[in-house]
Amino acid sequence: MTRSEEKREAFVEAVVAHLVSEGLADTGLRSLARVCGTSDRMLIYHFGSKDALLEQAFGAIVAGLTAQLDALLGPRRRAPARLLEDLLAAVDRGPFLPVVRLWFELVGRAVTGEEPYRASARALGERWLAWIEAHLPRDRADRAPELFATLEGTLMLRLLDLPEPERPHA
Amino acid sequence: MTRSEEKREAFVEAVVAHLVSEGLADTGLRSLARVCGTSDRMLIYHFGSKDALLEQAFGAIVAGLTAQLDALLGPRRRAPARLLEDLLAAVDRGPFLPVVRLWFELVGRAVTGEEPYRASARALGERWLAWIEAHLPRDRADRAPELFATLEGTLMLRLLDLPEPERPHA
DNA sequence: GATCGAATGTAGCATCCGCTACGGAAGCTG
DNA sequence: CAGCTTCCGTAGCGGATGCTACATTCGATC
- Tell how far CA B125 is from the center of its chain: 8
Amino acid at the residue A146: E
| Cα gap B121→B111, rounded to integer Å | 9
pLDDT at B109 over 70: yes
The confidence score (pLDDT) of residue B169 equals 59
Question: Which of A96, A160, A164, A166 is the mutation pick for testing B, counting most B CBs within 10 A?
Answer: A160
pLDDT at B37 over 90: yes
The confidence score (pLDDT) of residue A92 equals 87
Strand C at less than 7 A from CB of B41: yes
pLDDT at A155 over 70: yes
Q: Minimum mean pLDDT among A91-95, B14-18, B49-53, B96-100: which range?
A: A91-95
| Cα gap A155→B125, rounded to integer Å | 13
Helix (H) or strand (E) holding B91: helix B80-93
Contacts of A126 (CB under 8 A, 6+ apart): B162
The confidence score (pLDDT) of residue A1 equals 66
**Confidence category of residue B1, pLDDT binned at 50, 70, 90:** low
pLDDT at B170 over 80: no
User: Which residues of A fall below an 8 Å CB-CB distance to B?
Assistant: 23, 25, 101, 104-112, 114, 118, 121-122, 125-126, 129, 142-143, 145-146, 148-154, 156-157, 159-166
Q: What is the percentage of chain B residues whose pLDDT exceeds 90?
A: 85
Please report, for chain A, how many H helices and E strands are present, in that order.
8, 0
| Cα gap A152→A150, rounded to integer Å | 6
Compute the average pLDDT of residues A132-152: 96
Asked if residues A88 and A147 have their Cβ atoms less than 8 Å apart, the reply is no
Q: Which of B146, B21, B128, B2 lies closest to B65 in space, CA to CA?
A: B128
Q: Which of B147, B28, B89 lies closest to A149 in space, CA to CA?
A: B147
**Confidence category of residue B167, pLDDT binned at 50, 70, 90:** confident
Q: Helix/strand/coil (H, E, C) string of B20-88? A: HHHCCCCCCHHHHHHHHCCCHHHHHHHHCCHHHHHHHHHHHHHHHHHHHHHHHHCCCCCCHHHHHHHHH
Q: pLDDT per residue over A31-73, tens digit each?
A: 999 999 999 999 999 999 999 999 999 999 999 988 888 888 8
Asked if residues B164 and B158 have their Cβ atoms less than 8 Å apart, the reply is yes
Question: Which of A27, A97, A101, A112 is the mutation pick for testing B, counting most B CBs within 10 A?
Answer: A112
Q: Minimum mean pLDDT among A159-163, B16-20, B65-69, B104-108: which range?
A: B65-69
Q: How many CB atoms lie within 10 A of CB B1?
A: 8
- Asked if B104 and A105 come within 8 Å (Cβ–Cβ), the reply is no
- Asked if A105 and B111 come within 8 Å (Cβ–Cβ), the reply is yes
Compute the average pLDDT of residues A6-33: 95
Q: Which of residues 38-97 of A touch strand D (CB under 7 A)?
A: 38-42, 45
Cβ burial of B126 (10 Å; 0-12, 13-18, 19+) is middle
User: Collapsing DSSP states into helix, strand and coil, what is residue A49?
Assistant: coil
Compute the average pLDDT of residues B95-112: 96
CA distances (Å), origin B67, targets A70, A156, B105, B117: 45, 24, 22, 22
pLDDT at A170 over 70: no
Instruction: Tell me which of A66 and B102 has the higher pLDDT.
Output: B102
Q: pLDDT per residue over A88-131, tens digit each?
A: 999 988 789 999 999 999 999 999 999 899 999 999 999 999 99
